[in-house]
């Protein structure tokens, strides 16, 4: 995917390059596999993150009644189902002519989504990433999990678990279930917040906000302790894309589209989310099911971009909640006038958003419209609708076309991980160039590549949650296709170097 300057960006295996495959990844959502293509001088020429799972969700939504979709489509993911639930609802609001939905419905959906982003960010930072960040990328595999964090830093682990739980409770109170609820429907919501749940959430908020501030402090401290590593590691300059509020504020639920270039200059701004799909083109590569979106106006080489927390908090002009905005200003100072592009800065940005979510939950809980008021809107029926939302991992786009018989005739989903596809490939390439040493594979290289990918919090299949117990395999393939070396990490964390039997492999 990524070539050294001047090298051709071919999709086939370029002549004379070797292939290094890492299969599969652990502690990301789903399974992935990485191939490094190196030349005869052992220089990394390309990095390819293969997404080899195919789910076909878009196809089997076709032919289903539209009102079923917001519930069905959230089964894409067990971590961020609410984002799919709401993106589908927003798209179908247009189909049923319910734009805007009522104030109560809007506030309830916003509350639900803040709970979702909070829950997902807490899961990613504390459960998945914190072992790497606290113990080091090369620490013992068996210790890189939340249980080890609980032994070493019990307060951090406990706060992570309870922050996640709080987010889940917000979701339950608004959607009916902690995972895969049914609160949002095309045209509005089917329930108010109960007084009991409002009291319950209100009571828990102050300590959650304190813990969120501590989490921002923790990641900021880690950056300060190793500024070289955190700034340099997997750093990739890119465009940034996200929704922002009409006033330029950080926006997670509904807004207009803005993109900046790597220097921070605004490329486009104020565009309606209904025009979103006209801005983008998706490139297909033969070696992965994951497409490569880019801004149509700039083309595939210049128009790729990053989404997610790092993009969002730098794309906006400000965050509307005071504590998070103060933390954002401290974060921005790191860039010295330009956007911060370090991949590990995603974690910092993620914790600032986590704090913002809790502050906004506090604001929303004070609004009586959550407890009463009209929930549903109806209007003139339309044939199609687009719903764009800022999911935990970035911009999420749902588009549906619906026939006169109420059945979905076309479905197009562009999920956050897809937007970040090129960026993840670039980040892996940057890491491999720094850590691949000669023809010897090390588990250190493998670990560092995983850490780089994990910074993007990719949701590759939206189904599994490996927590570091998945086997890993790293293979070095010579220019002739022979396997020169192989390193395998078993499910139990054992590192093995199995006999590297000469064998031809087909480059993918």
Count of residues that bind other proteins according to CB under 8 A: 24
57 binding other proteins? (CB under 8 A): no
Dist CA 134 CA 453 (whole Å): 17
Residue 296 as a binder of other proteins (CB under 8 A): the answer is: no
| 75 touches other proteins (CB under 8 A) | yes
What is the C-alpha R_g of the chain? 22
- Residues of span 448-467 touching other proteins by CB under 8 A: none
Residue of 143, 158, 191, 469 interacting with other proteins (CB under 8 A)? 191
Query: For other proteins, which is the closer residue by CB, 88 or 244?
Result: 88
Cβ contact 468:131 at 8 Å = yes
Residue with tokens 């993840």: 424
Contact stretch for other proteins (CB under 8 A) within 184-192, 212-220, 339-347, 438-446: 184-192
Is 185 a binding residue for other proteins by CB under 8 A? The answer is yes
**For other proteins, which is the closer residue by CB, 203 or 405?**
405
Q: For the window 98-117, what string marks contact with other proteins as x by the rule CB under 8 A?
A: --------------------
Q: Work out the angle between the directed axes of helices 345-365 and 103-122 (0-180°, nearest 10).
A: 140
159 is written with which tokens?
A: 């706060």
Listed in sequence order, the DSSP H helices in 316-405 are: 322-333, 345-365
Give the side-chain half-sphere CA count within 13 A for 131: 24
DSSP annotation string for 409-445: EEEEEE-HHHHTHHHHHHHHHHHHHHH-BTTB--HHH
Q: Which of 151, 301, 406, 503 binds other proteins (CB under 8 A)?
A: 406
Half-sphere exposure (Cβ direction) of 69: Cα atoms closer than 13 Å: 38
CB 435 within 8 A of CB 34: no
The token duo for 245 is 């509020």
285 binds other proteins (CB under 8 A): no
- Segment interacting with other proteins (CB under 8 A) among 64-72, 141-149, 157-165, 280-288: 64-72
The yes or no reply on residue 70 touching other proteins (CB under 8 A) is yes
Q: Could you tell me if 415 and 459 are in contact, meaning their C-beta atoms sit under 8 angstroms apart?
A: yes
Query: Which of residues 13, 36, 71, 133 is near other proteins by CB under 8 A?
Result: 71
Kindly state the smallest distance separating residue 182's Cβ from other proteins, in Å. 4
Binds other proteins (CB under 8 A): choice among 196, 203, 225, 405: 405
CB of 109 to other proteins, least distance (A): 14
> Cβ 360 to other proteins, closest distance in Å?
24
81 lines the binding site for other proteins (CB under 8 A): no
Q: Does 181 bind other proteins (CB under 8 A)?
A: yes
Residue with tokens 């609004």: 367
Q: For residue 16, give both structure tokens.
A: 């004379």
């Amino acid at each position: 995917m990524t070539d050294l300057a001047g090298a051709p960006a071919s999709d086939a295996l370029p002549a004379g390059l070797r292939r290094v495959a890492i299969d599969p990844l652990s502690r990301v959502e789903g399974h992935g596999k990485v191939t490094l293509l190196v030349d005869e001088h052992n220089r990394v020429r390309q990095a390819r993150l293969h997404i080899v799972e195919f789910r076909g969700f878009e196809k089997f939504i076709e032919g289903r009644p539209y009102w079923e979709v917001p519930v069905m489509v959230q089964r894409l993911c067990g971590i961020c189902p609410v984002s799919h639930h709401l993106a589908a609802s927003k798209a179908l609001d247009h189909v049923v002519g319910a734009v805007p939905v009522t104030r109560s419905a809007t506030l309830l959906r916003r509350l639900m989504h803040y709970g979702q982003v909070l829950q997902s960010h807490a899961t990613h930072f504390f459960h998945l990433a914190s072992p790497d960040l606290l113990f080091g990328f090369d620490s013992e595999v068996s210790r890189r999990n939340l249980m080890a964090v609980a032994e070493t830093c019990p307060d951090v682990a406990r706060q992570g678990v309870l922050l996640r739980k709080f987010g889940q409770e917000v979701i339950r109170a608004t959607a009916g279930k902690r995972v895969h609820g049914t609160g949002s429907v095309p045209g509005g919501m089917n329930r108010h917040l109960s007084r009991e749940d409002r009291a319950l959430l209100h009571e828990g908020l102050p300590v959650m906000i304190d813990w969120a501030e501590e989490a921002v402090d923790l990641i900021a401290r880690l950056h300060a302790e190793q500024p070289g590593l955190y700034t340099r590691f997997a750093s990739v300059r890119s465009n940034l894309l996200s929704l922002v509020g009409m006033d330029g504020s950080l926006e997670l639920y509904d807004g207009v589209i803005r993109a900046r270039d790597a220097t921070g200059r605004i490329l486009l701004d104020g565009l309606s989310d209904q025009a979103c799909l006209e801005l983008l083109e998706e490139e297909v590569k033969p070696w992965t099911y994951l497409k490569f979106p880019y801004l149509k106006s700039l083309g595939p080489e210049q128009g790729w971009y990053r989404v997610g927390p790092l993009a969002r908090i730098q794309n906006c002009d400000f965050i509307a909640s005071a504590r998070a905005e103060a933390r954002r200003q401290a974060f921005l100072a790191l860039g010295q006038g330009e956007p911060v592009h370090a991949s590990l800065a995603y974690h910092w940005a993620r914790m600032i958003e986590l704090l913002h979510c809790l502050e906004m939950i506090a604001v929303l809980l004070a609004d009586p419209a959550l407890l009463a008021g009209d929930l549903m809107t109806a209007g003139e029926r339309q044939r199609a609708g687009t719903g764009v939302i800022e999911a935990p991992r970035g911009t999420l786009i749902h588009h549906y076309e619906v026939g006169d018989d109420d059945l979905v005739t076309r479905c197009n989903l562009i999920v956050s991980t897809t937007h970040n596809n090129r960026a993840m490939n670039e980040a892996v390439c940057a890491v491999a160039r720094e850590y691949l040493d000669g023809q010897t594979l090390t588990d250190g290289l493998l670990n560092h590549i995983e850490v780089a990918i994990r910074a993007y919090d990719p949701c590759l299949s939206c189904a599994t949650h490996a927590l570091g117990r998945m086997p890993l395999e790293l293979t070095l393939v010579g220019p002739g296709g022979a396997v020169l070396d192989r390193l395998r990490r078993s499910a139990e964390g054992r590192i093995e170097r199995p006999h590297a039997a000469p064998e031809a492999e087909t480059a993918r």
